[in-house]
Amino acid sequence: MTTTLIEANSIESLLGKEAEDLLTYKAKVPTDLLHLPGPDFVDRIWLNSDRNPQVIRNLQLLYSTGRLAYTGYLSILPVDQGIEHSAGASFAPNPIYFDPENIVRLAIAAGCNAVATTLGTLGIVSRKYAHKIPFIAKINHNELLTFPNQFDQVLFADVEQAWNLGAAAVGATIYFGSEHSTRQIQEISRAFKRAHELGMVTILWCYLRNNAFKQDKDYHLAADLTGQANHLGVTIEADIIKQKLAENNNGYGAIAKATGKSYGKTDERVYTELTTDHPIDLTRYQVLNCYSGRVGLINSGGATGKNDFAEAVRTAVINKRAGGSGLISGRKTFQRPFEEGVKLFHAIQDVYLSPDVTIA
């Protein structure tokens, strides 16, 4: 196994005043209800599934690449922000990434399990790199050039194109809760079915999107709502779920109260027996909704800021201790000098390699 580059006390230092709480907390839901990551994860979970041998092979490839190889954890570089947030907003802080090759170079230098990016980025360098690091081809996007800006994930590529450029997996986003979600669910369900037929892994960005979810708090980050989005995602056979880290809870109740209308269905035991306000419990509820961890949950790293190293390590600690399967970090890494991006990835990976960061 690859050794860590930072010691446990460095992780504690980055966590600051939260260190003891995050590193020693005992989760509300016991681990014996979960299927946890480990070196045998693909054999233990996926051999009894309906996935064909080529999908199993590509799943094992993802879990066998980079610094986290054979641990059951994933560290992925996602760069679809050139479309999702515009190329100028995304790459002006570090213009080398207007050149797609540098995106792939960063993922390799950082020891990532895979690189997730657009059809165009992967297609223009596929012959040079498809055999050097697993490709995840993101097939749908939201674009911000239409006026007024609209928010809808639309297909930019098809599954056959991803397969032809050598992708090991396809990725897609669904805006659950949006006015377009029904169409997106149907489109991506069909795309994932075809991806599995061709032997590719499926990864779903299970994001919420509805103005009603912003009330006294941003309930796009509620554990109960993101958990349900995860549950919908695994229902259409996503093999890996990407979700934002939960920051609050009881989105169902808050939205119903704010709008004066009945909304969805939940159970009081979600809030009394399955969760608390602790971030590890909130994330564990996300894991529970990924078929109790049978489908790996990777949390997103979020936007860049002043304390990227501390924030990234904090997210990784919460994800790992909750029973998650890794981190997918984009802007925090590529919006800084190349070598700093590599170091930030290593800081994240060291959390998953550290025996001192245990499952809560």
The residues annotated with a catalytic role in the active site are 242
Label the pairing between strands 296-300 and 326-328: parallel
2: nearest Cα among 354, 356, 359, 319 = 354
Strands (E), the chain: 74-79, 114-118, 135-138, 140-141, 154-155, 169-176, 201-208, 240-243, 296-300, 326-328
Contact 286, 230 (CB under 8 A): yes
Query: Cα(299)–Cα(316) distance, rounded to whole angstroms?
Result: 8
Query: Cα(27)–Cα(39) distance, rounded to whole angstroms?
Result: 23
Contact 140, 101 (CB under 8 A): no
Classify 148 in phi/psi space as left (phi over 0), alpha (psi -120 to 50) or beta. Answer: beta
Place of tokens 């109960």: 224
Q: Tell me the backbone φ, ψ of residue 318, rounded to 5 degrees.
A: -65, -45
Contact 56, 46 (CB under 8 A): yes
215, containing H or E segment: none
Residue type, 327: L
